[in-house]
Amino acid sequence: MSVQIKANGDMIGRAVPRIDGRLKVTGAACYPSDVVLDDTAHAFLVMSTIARGRISALDLTEAQAVDGVIDILTYENTKGKVHKVRFFALGGYTSTSIVPLDTRKIWHDGQIIAMVVAETFEAAREAAYMIRVDYMERRAVSGLDGRKPQPRAAAGFLSSEPGVGDPETAYQEADVKIDAYYSTPAQHHNAIELYATTCAWSGDQLTVYESSQYVYGLKNGVAKQLGIRPERVRAVSPFVGGAFGSKAAITPRTALVAIAAKRLGRPVKLVATRQQGFTVSSYRAETQHHIKLGADRSGRLTSLSHEGWEISSRADDYKVAGTDTTSLLYACPNVATHVNIVHADRSTPGFMRSPAEVPYMFALESAMDELAVKLRMDPVELRRLNDTQIDPINQKPFSSRSLIACYDRAAAAFGWAKRNPEPGSMQDRDWLIGWGCATACYPTNIGPAEVRVTLAPNGKARVRTAGHDLGTGAYTAIALTAAEFLGIPLEDVNVELGDSSLPPAPVAGGSNATASICNAVAHACEDIRERLARAASHEGALRGVDPAVIRLREGMLVGADKSEPLKSALLRIGFGPVEGHAKYTPEVASVPIKLLGHTLLSKGIPVLTVGTSAGNHVQYAFGAEFVEVRVHKRTREIRVPRLVGAFAAGRIVSPITARSQLLGALIWGVASALHEETEIDERVARYVNKDLADYMIPVSADIRDVEVILVPEEDNKVNALGIKGVGELGNVGTNAAIANAVYHATGRRIRNLPIRMEDLL
């Protein structure tokens, strides 16, 4: 399909309130955990209390005696019921290769070892605590100590190891050198909606109500786990109470709830507790980094090496390998990278917002600041000097790269010119002031998407696709796109998402959804326009007008100074609504994706063209972030009164919701720098701060002024609409900007996150 898609109306880019806002402020938005079905039984999970070993005995006697208990699933009655389904990072569906309730084996603390089902939530919970478990425990390995250098381990799967030139020799010969280790902690998504699942069977038809970033993955994966045809499963998730990567792959709980509902012949609802949520789904694994930078006296990089270590489970090789990004960020002729996986007795990690960039860019952007200090150079000027429009590894051009424009806009808004570079030189009464900056970047990923749009004679449109709105503003961006291309008011567009009975859309991950789906919507609308225009060119007011110039505008067909109401044009080709259909394949997709993309999409297998695999160019969005920190002279309390981020991410479809995403992401960056850490008891490989009181995330009192600047950028190479996506861009680099600001305030370089008061004593 080679239709011309060009947005020239005034809907895309218009600042409108999110269209699902009213449902959210009135409590009417129905999240999957809100579903209440008649005759529902309630489930409660029981989790392992050791990290490695075997269950030697399970005593259910007391649990079964609890009033209201109906059923207890354990490996004894569930073994073999859940089929092993491939891990998502290997092109499968599941968040872990560990099959639930399949054996006595314990792989990690907090592994599901039983599920109680009862008439009420209260009875299920009571019984769950009555189950007696005996273990044969083995000594567990908890992970890596990020504060000590790690040995080089074996590389895992799909290791691309980008590199170029002779970085070792260049490093030896460099005028100025940085050689440092950095680390980032384990983190958990902690979306405010708990992990909840309701399963209901109607004959052999299963409906799964579960918050999801990928309803097609959920449908197809659960079908495989249960050994039934995918047509027998429907996944429903019209609203998602936060996800951040935790709801993309299928977690072990879902199949268990489906099995329980089948055994009981009635709906079963599971709501995992906040504590259980720490091992019900995935997490961001702790990482360590070794960075070596070499530069000449002017500041030009001559050598860059970046080695990473990441924790994975014993069941899976998972890694985020952010060296794909850090290797191409700056002009440097000699680059080496390597990523190591360290296996431990832990659950399998997974995506968490900007999975690769948050840890790896922390290391690189901290090291760049250290280099600027050593060179006695302004850190913005160091980035300017080493900026590049060409990927230094493969010599491909960036489709567009407005990094320096972002730095200039953000620096001006921040007042960076007034910075005294001397550490500790800026003070306000009892507070040391530090100003720091860092680069944000995120690959522009895009996938195939299928959309159906109907336009009725009353001028109302329906857009249907199994996309997801995680709070991202997807409903609004999609509605704006349809309104633009159909020439109708926004309020006449109805968008349906989050249901696997709709046409397939990609996983809401990797910030691809707006680009993938809005381009598909444009094509589906174009399908409608073309059919109306062709018919209109034969008769009526537009007779004889070239169909190619006829446009839909303000409820009319217009072309060659003539016009016709939409209604009469629609009635010409039928009595009901006209349907436009599009199977959009990204323009930049590889040949295999062009051939197989839609087949894989319909099977719920993610097929994204990523920033470094887009044909003859590389595609990334960029930003520049500036922060002010204040460190109290005596208590060493750290505050962040001010953040400014400027971002260039191609065409912004929905500016209000995009701004909110970037605003929230900057605050995620504060959390990454100063708050979040899942703490691990190393003796038993167990998380110790498994709740929202002890797992630190920012509260309102932690945040003051946050400014988001959207830097205009046109990019006609990434896709027809020029969209790059903003969901994960904003929280990249923020942690480094804060660490750099802490150095500026105190002269203390903190290389291990999070930075806490005790690090500055």
Partner 1 sequence: MDANSPLKASLSASRALKLVLSVNGRDHRLSLDPRVTLLDALREHLGLTGTKKGCDQGQCGACTVHVDGQRVLSCLTLAASVEGKAVTTIEGLALDESTLHPMQQAFMDHDAFQCGYCTPGQIMSAVACVMEGLAETDDDIREYMSGNLCRCAAYPNIVAAIKQARAEMKRSRK
Q: Which residues are catalytic?
A: 728
Q: How far is CA 212 from CA 216, 319, 368, 518, in A?
A: 9, 22, 38, 20
Based on the shown chain and the rule CB under 8 A, indicate whether residue 705 belongs to the binding site for partner 1: yes
Based on the shown chain and the rule CB under 8 A, indicate whether residue 659 belongs to the binding site for partner 1: yes
With CB under 8 A as the contact rule, the residue among 3, 13, 14, 30 that binds partner 1 is 30
Interface pattern 130-169 for partner 1 (x via CB under 8 A): ----------------------------------------
Token pair 């489930």 in the structure block, residue? 43
Quick one: 20 or 391, whose CB is closer to partner 1? Answer: 20
Cα 86 to Cα 388: distance, rounded to the nearest angstrom? 39
Based on the shown chain and the rule CB under 8 A, indicate whether residue 700 belongs to the binding site for partner 1: yes
DSSP 8-state code for residue 307: E
Cα 277 to Cα 271: distance, rounded to the nearest angstrom? 10
Quick one: 530 or 702, whose CB is closer to partner 1? Answer: 702
Interface of this chain with partner 1, residues 387 to 426, rule: CB under 8 A: none
User: Which ranges in 586-646 belong to alpha helices (H)?
Assistant: 591-602
Based on the shown chain and the rule CB under 8 A, indicate whether residue 438 belongs to the binding site for partner 1: no
Based on the shown chain and the rule CB under 8 A, indicate whether residue 62 belongs to the binding site for partner 1: no
Based on the shown chain and the rule CB under 8 A, indicate whether residue 64 belongs to the binding site for partner 1: yes
Least distance to partner 1, CB of residue 32, Å:
11
Least distance to partner 1, CB of residue 337, Å:
32
With CB under 8 A as the contact rule, the residue among 99, 240, 466, 556 that binds partner 1 is 240
Based on the shown chain and the rule CB under 8 A, indicate whether residue 92 belongs to the binding site for partner 1: no
Cα 749 to Cα 111: distance, rounded to the nearest angstrom? 38
With CB under 8 A as the contact rule, the residue among 12, 18, 195, 505 that binds partner 1 is 18
Q: How far is CA 479 from the centre of its chain?
A: 22
Quick one: 72 or 505, whose CB is closer to partner 1? Answer: 72
Coil vs helix vs strand at 2: coil
Q: Which stretch binds partner 1 (CB under 8 A): 132-140, 326-334, 387-395, 694-702?
A: 694-702
Q: How far is CA 529 from the centre of its chain?
A: 34
Q: Is the peptide bond before 592 cis (omega within 30 degrees of 0)?
A: no
Is the C-alpha dihedral spanning 521, 527, 530, 531 positive or negative? negative
With CB under 8 A as the contact rule, the residue among 1, 6, 17, 84 that binds partner 1 is 17
Q: Which stretch binds partner 1 (CB under 8 A): 285-293, 445-453, 581-589, 667-675?
A: 667-675
Cα 422 to Cα 348: distance, rounded to the nearest angstrom? 44
Q: Which stretch binds partner 1 (CB under 8 A): 136-144, 355-363, 540-548, 655-663?
A: 655-663
Q: Which stretch binds partner 1 (CB under 8 A): 236-244, 528-536, 575-583, 710-718?
A: 236-244
Q: Which residues on adjacent β-strands are paired with residue 496?
A: 464
Interface of this chain with partner 1, residues 268 to 327, rule: CB under 8 A: 271, 273-274
Based on the shown chain and the rule CB under 8 A, indicate whether residue 25 belongs to the binding site for partner 1: yes
Based on the shown chain and the rule CB under 8 A, indicate whether residue 477 belongs to the binding site for partner 1: no
Based on the shown chain and the rule CB under 8 A, indicate whether residue 245 belongs to the binding site for partner 1: no
Contact yes or no for 497/471 (Cβ under 8 A):
no
Based on the shown chain and the rule CB under 8 A, indicate whether residue 656 belongs to the binding site for partner 1: yes
Binding residues for partner 1, rule CB under 8 A, total: 77
Kindly give, in sequence order, each residue whose CB lies less than 8 Å from that of residue 606, ignoring residues fewer than 6 positions away. 88, 214, 217, 447, 506, 507, 509
Q: Name the strand (E) or helix (H) holding 579.
A: strand 578-584
Least distance to partner 1, CB of residue 20, Å:
8
Based on the shown chain and the rule CB under 8 A, indicate whether residue 61 belongs to the binding site for partner 1: no
- Residue 323 is encoded by which pair of tokens? 């060296």
Q: Which stretch binds partner 1 (CB under 8 A): 24-32, 308-316, 330-338, 506-514?
A: 24-32
The beta strand positions in 465-546, using DSSP E, are 493-496
DSSP 8-state code for residue 446: B
Cα 224 to Cα 711: distance, rounded to the nearest angstrom? 45
Interface of this chain with partner 1, residues 31 to 60, rule: CB under 8 A: 31, 33-34, 36
Q: Which residues on adjacent β-strands are paired with residue 632?
A: 431
Coil vs helix vs strand at 754: coil
With CB under 8 A as the contact rule, the residue among 241, 447, 604, 725 that binds partner 1 is 241
Cα 581 to Cα 374: distance, rounded to the nearest angstrom? 58
Within 13 A of 335's CA, how many CA atoms are on the CB side? Answer: 23
Cα 504 to Cα 464: distance, rounded to the nearest angstrom? 9
Based on the shown chain and the rule CB under 8 A, indicate whether residue 693 belongs to the binding site for partner 1: yes
Coil vs helix vs strand at 178: strand
DSSP 8-state code for residue 151: P
Q: Which stretch binds partner 1 (CB under 8 A): 96-104, 178-186, 626-634, 702-710?
A: 702-710
* 477 phi, psi to nearest 5 deg: -65, -40
Based on the shown chain and the rule CB under 8 A, indicate whether residue 548 belongs to the binding site for partner 1: no
Least distance to partner 1, CB of residue 663, Å:
6
Quick one: 117 or 455, whose CB is closer to partner 1? Answer: 117
Cα 466 to Cα 497: distance, rounded to the nearest angstrom? 5
Q: Name the strand (E) or helix (H) holding 720.
A: none
Based on the shown chain and the rule CB under 8 A, indicate whether residue 627 belongs to the binding site for partner 1: no
Residue 576 CB coordination number (10 Å)? 10
How large is the C-alpha radius of gyration of the chain?
A: 27
Based on the shown chain and the rule CB under 8 A, indicate whether residue 195 belongs to the binding site for partner 1: no
Q: Which stretch binds partner 1 (CB under 8 A): 71-79, 293-301, 326-334, 581-589?
A: 71-79
Q: Which stretch binds partner 1 (CB under 8 A): 89-97, 121-129, 435-443, 606-614?
A: 121-129
Quick one: 185 or 487, whose CB is closer to partner 1? Answer: 185
* 212 phi, psi to nearest 5 deg: -145, 145
β-strand pairing of 268-271 with 41-47: parallel
Based on the shown chain and the rule CB under 8 A, indicate whether residue 598 belongs to the binding site for partner 1: no
Based on the shown chain and the rule CB under 8 A, indicate whether residue 244 belongs to the binding site for partner 1: yes
Least distance to partner 1, CB of residue 136, Å:
24
Based on the shown chain and the rule CB under 8 A, indicate whether residue 22 belongs to the binding site for partner 1: yes
With CB under 8 A as the contact rule, the residue among 11, 12, 52, 71 that binds partner 1 is 71
